[in-house]
Structure 1
Amino acid sequence: MDTEALHTERDRSSAPGTDGSGAGEGSRSVCFRRRPGWRRAAALVGACAVFLLLLSQFVMQPFLIPSTSMQPALEVGDRVLVNKLAYRFGSEPRRGDVVVFDGAGSFVPEDAAGNPVSAAAREGLSALGLTEPSDTDFVKRVVGVGGDRVVCCDKGGRLEVNGVPVDESYLYAGETASHVPFDIVVRQGTLWVMGDHRSRSRDSRDHLGEPGGGTVPLDRVIGRADWIGWPAGRWSPLPPTGAFDRVTAPDGAHG
């Protein structure tokens, strides 16, 4: 009897994968080792998503620029970083600030949100800067604050705030202060806002005859646009403007 051959056959039959039970145990073992890695990866992705959503909700939110109304400071496709803490601790928007705000009730009707499910999905994506913002969100420059008298235009074609002519060096090349004349006093607790590319901007001027007179309530301001975060070639802070430095509040105090 060939004992060596018997031992060889016995060894082959006991090797993993040579019968049904051995193959199953090996496969299950591999799967068991792999699954925890996928779970950890999924958990990490989920944690990152939650962190980014919380960050964008309370601290800094990306905002995709959808139009040419703020050229040349902001171009279509720019993603600005909106500082949501800028006005949280008693500070209020100042003349010259570029702000993002919810225009529901001032620039668009209150019921313009549409389907709540699609609106929630869009809000989540726009909060990460992955899609255009809601149709109720706008980005404009603050030109007048509560109590200001804003007039356009003086003999030189310039905007006047509280009787002081404003040289708006940030305007799009060739633009005038406004083709639409107006003379308004900004209600307390609201803002008068305008785009830098005046002929391409629907702003406070377009809502003069509506409730609120074109002004935006302070509690609708989402934050101040401080940085251009994308594309990489345009990464830079939004430059401040000194256009309103000589303007004082109607009572003589600096506004």
Structure 2
Amino acid sequence: MSSESETTGESAAAPNGDDGTAKSEKKNRSFLRELPILILVALVLSFFLQTFIARVYLIPSESMEPTLHGCPGCTGDRIVVEKIGYRFGDPQPGDVIVFRGPESWSQDFVSTRSSNTVIRGMQELGSLVGLVPPDENDLVKRVIATGGQTVECCDDEGNVLVDGQPLDEPYVVMDFPFVPGSQTCDTALKSARCFGPVTVPEGNLWMMGDNRSNSADSRYHVGDELQGTIPIDNVIGKAVFIVLPPSRMGTISSPNPQEQ
């Protein structure tokens, strides 16, 4: 009785073991067949999210200091730019936005794409799914005035004016010198802050960097066909959050400077 039981047990154990190995091999083959599909789905989702929902951008310059940190050769802030909000409304004064620079703003733009056709094609494909930065003149600035408003600088205290009213701009830390009584917009020693007045065309925006002494913004392009403004159609989205580095993580302030 005992011997028969042991034999039965051993003979039953072998098929169970073979069946387990077969199931494991089948599962591995199934996973390998599904892997390309999973990768494709992930790439499609990435393309969808970055095209229609939000995208991460690297800040490469100092034009938005100290709100956004960046400089050539350093590790700049990485920001999340959401693209949904402006599908239901236009940018407002104070918003920090990413936009495609008009043609007249692209004179210093240098393409990052390879001259090799194959590599360039791979770079373009990578850009579609967010693995490679887009090869376009994408800029980040703050909205100061919108269509129909007149913007200029400066009042007696060196403030930017919109429709004759001085702006409250706590985010501006670095600016050109302005000394009431000696270095203003009316003296021979004219302040570099001075510009305008410019009336913003309907459907356009007047953009300025927070680092007023180091930003090639609307003031720099005031002589072009759009008087330095940019079309709302060029807006990509609103910068809402700094995700990297961890020490800089947080929301991006966008107070309306026209509200006193």
Superposed, which structure 2 residues align to 1:12-27 within 5 Å?
A: none
Query: Take 1:173 and 1:190, find their aligned partners in 2: how far apart are those partners?
Result: 26
**Residue 187 of structure 2 corresponds to residue 187 of structure 1:** no
Aligned to 2:146: 145
1:37-56 CA-partner distances (Å, limit 9, x unpaired) = 33333332332222111101
CA drift of 1:230 comes to 2.0
SS in 2 for 1:200: coil
State the secondary structure of the residue aligned to 2:31: helix
- The equivalences for 1:90-105 within 5 A come to 91-105=89-103
Residues matched between the structures, number: 216
Q: TM-score w.r.t. structure 2 length?
A: 0.72
Alignment partner, residue 107 of structure 1: 105
Aligned equivalent of 2:187:
none
Which is worse superposed, 56-65 or 165-174?
A: 165-174
Please say if 1:61 is aligned against 2:60: no
- Alignment of structure 1 residues 56-95 onto 2, 5 Å: 56-76=50-70, 77-89=76-88, 91-95=89-93
- The corresponding residue for 1:206 is 220
Comparing 74-83 with 165-174, greater Cα deviation is found at: 165-174
Checking the alignment, whether the CA contact within 8 Å between 2:84 and 2:237 is kept in structure 1 is: yes
Which shifted more, 111-120 or 208-217? Answer: 111-120
Secondary structure at the counterpart of residue 86 of structure 2: coil
Could you tell me which runs of 5 or more consecutive residues in structure 1 were left unpaired when the two chains were aligned.
Answer: 1-28, 247-255
Q: Does the aligned pair in 2 maintain the 1:63–1:126 contact within 8 Å?
A: no
Aligned to 1:95, the other structure's residue is in SS state coil
User: What is the identity, as a one-letter code, of the residue corresponding to 1:60?
Assistant: A
Aligned with 2:123 (options 121, 124, 134): 121
1:123 to 1:174, Cα distance in 2 relative to 1, 3 A? farther
Shift of 1:241: 1.4
- SS of the equivalent of 1:87 reads helix
Which residue of structure 2 lines up, in the alignment, with residue 253 of structure 1?
A: none
Query: Sequence identity of aligned pairs in percent?
Result: 37
Q: 1:191 to 1:174 in 2, by over 3 A?
A: closer
Which residue of structure 1 lines up, in the alignment, with residue 251 of structure 2?
237
Q: Tell me, what secondary structure is at the counterpart of 2:144?
A: strand
Aligned to 1:21: none
Residue 108 of structure 1 aligns with an amino acid whose one-letter code is S
Q: For 1:74-128, what per-residue CA distance to the aligned partner results, in whole angstroms no more than 9, with x for missing partners?
A: 1122111111111102x1111100011111335227x987979738825844863
Largest Rg, 1 or 2:
1
Deviations along 1:163-222, whole A, 9 cap, x unmatched?
Answer: 111131101346568824211111111000010011221111111111111110011111
Question: By how many angstroms is 1:240 displaced?
Answer: 2.8
Residues 216 and 226 of structure 1, relative CA distance in 2, 3 Å threshold: same
Q: Secondary structure at the match of 2:237?
A: strand
What amino acid does structure 1 have at the position aligned with 2:223?
A: G
